[in-house]
């Protein structure tokens, strides 16, 4: 099974680059901000050591940004009295502050070194890559030159970010709408090898699952008992690690867990039963190198999805406010 799947991966990687992507360049800041990657790396190391969940948070932040209108840092824009931004829609409220903070710190340092040069979108992309690598994940090249979005609207989010209670058909179709195939989707779901989820996202699997079963029968019974203790008494704000075995390490344990009924979210566990996703779960559980290659490929592909170039965007002076608003705070976002 491994050889055909890897052949598909190699073939699909040859079709990754489009005209838009070719305008991005790994050396984009070599002349205008030569300390760019060194500055980000130092900020990332300091932040991850101080707050070990930063890597998982930044990965979620990056993905939630890119899946809604492309990788343009629109998720970083704050709401104002005229408009509710993406970051304040319900599915984004649980994104951790440490993830926003690492981008803010990097932006502040870069503005001192080379003001008005580095976009927030590029900072998020590179910081995420470096954080993944720092916790054991694969390194991959990140093409640069993205511009930041002029606007951000909460109404644009729904239907673009997968929810734990969605069917596999819905999730597969959602990824397909971003030109991501099933293999790439499974690899990206492997990001759940780090990070955590709140009880509200999976408690239905533990209590009154259906008319015929109190708990989700696909879950490991011992695992259920531990989660029931954690999430009992309506403590929905409590959280559990997505990967109960190696929660702080980026590895393939997530896929091994699915084979044992240790998937935390229903949408995760479902992948071991769906015939479209099961072969890839089994491959990545068996072969971490195959997972890392597929994940790196998928992340490169996501990172160039609908990027904004030239006059389509700007380089924000602050990541949470578009430049126009910094000049005129009474002006509505995007107007």
Residues 6+ apart with CB under 8 A from 131: 44, 48, 54, 55, 58, 59, 102
User: Is 243 among the annotated ligand-binding positions?
Assistant: yes
Q: Is 64 a catalytic residue?
A: yes
- How far CA 244 is from CA of 59, 104, 144, 253, 296, in Å, comes to 18, 30, 35, 9, 23
Structure tokens at 165: 């209670």
User: Is 65 among the annotated ligand-binding positions?
Assistant: yes
Torsion sign (Cα): 279, 141, 36, 21: negative
User: Is 218 among the annotated ligand-binding positions?
Assistant: no
Spatial separation of the C-alpha atoms in residues 84 and 155, rounded to whole Å: 8
Phi, psi torsion values for 196, nearest 5 degrees = -145, 165
Q: Buried (b) or exposed (e) across 289-316, using 16+ Cβ within 10 A?
A: ebbbbbbbbbbbbbbbbebbeeeebbbb
Asked if 305 and 70 count as a contact pair (C-beta separation under 8 A), the reply is yes
Nearest CA-CA partner of 187 in 262, 285, 307, 85:
285
User: Is 310 among the annotated ligand-binding positions?
Assistant: no
Structure tokens at 241: 């690690």
User: Is 89 among the annotated ligand-binding positions?
Assistant: no
User: Is 246 among the annotated ligand-binding positions?
Assistant: yes
User: Is 237 among the annotated ligand-binding positions?
Assistant: no
Q: Which of 64, 160, 198, 297 is catalytic?
A: 64
Asked if 98 and 256 count as a contact pair (C-beta separation under 8 A), the reply is no
Spatial separation of the C-alpha atoms in residues 264 and 242, rounded to whole Å: 6
**Which amino acids are annotated as binding site for heme b, given as ranges?**
192
**Which amino acids are annotated as binding site for Ca(2+), given as ranges?**
65, 68, 70, 72, 74, 86, 193, 243, 246, 251
The catalytic residue positions are 64
**Which amino acids are annotated as binding site, given as ranges?**
65, 68, 70, 72, 74, 86, 192-193, 243, 246, 251
């Amino acid at each position: 099974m491994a050889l055909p799947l890897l052949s598909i991966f190699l073939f699909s990687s040859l079709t990754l680059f489009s005209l838009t992507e070719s305008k991005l360049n790994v050396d984009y800041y070599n002349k205008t901000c030569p300390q760019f990657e060194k500055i980000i790396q130092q900020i990332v190391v300091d932040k991850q050591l101080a707050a070990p969940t930063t890597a998982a948070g930044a990965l979620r932040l990056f993905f939630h940004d890119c899946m809604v209108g492309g990788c343009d840092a629109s998720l970083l824009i704050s709401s104002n009295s005229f408009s509710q931004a993406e970051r304040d829609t319900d599915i984004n409220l649980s994104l951790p502050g440490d993830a926003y903070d690492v981008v803010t710190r990097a932006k502040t340092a870069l503005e001192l070194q080379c003001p008005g040069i580095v976009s927030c979108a590029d900072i998020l992309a590179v910081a995420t890559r470096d954080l993944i690598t720092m916790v054991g994940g694969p390194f991959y090249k990140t093409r640069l030159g993205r511009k930041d979005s002029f606007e951000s609207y909460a109404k644009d989010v729904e239907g673009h970010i997968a929810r734990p209670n969605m069917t596999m058909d819905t999730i597969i179709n959602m990824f397909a709408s971003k030109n991501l195939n099933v293999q790439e989707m499974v690899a990206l779901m492997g990001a759940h090898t780090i990070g955590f989820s709140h009880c509200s996202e999976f408690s239905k699997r533990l209590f009154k699952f259906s008319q015929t079963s109190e708990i989700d029968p696909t879950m490991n019974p011992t695992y259920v008992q531990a989660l029931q203790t954690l999430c009992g008494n309506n403590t929905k704000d409590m959280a559990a690690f997505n990967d109960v075995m190696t929660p702080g390490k980026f590895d393939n344990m997530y896929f091994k867990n699915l084979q044992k009924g240790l998937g935390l979210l229903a949408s995760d566990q479902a992948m071991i039963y769906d015939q479209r996703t099961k072969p890839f779960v089994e491959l990545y559980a068996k072969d971490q190198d195959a997972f890392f290659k597929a994940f790196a490929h998928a992340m490169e592909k996501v990172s160039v999805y609908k990027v904004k170039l030239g006059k389509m965007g700007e380089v924000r002076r602050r990541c949470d406010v578009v430049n126009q608003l910094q000049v005129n705070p009474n002006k509505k976002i995007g107007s």
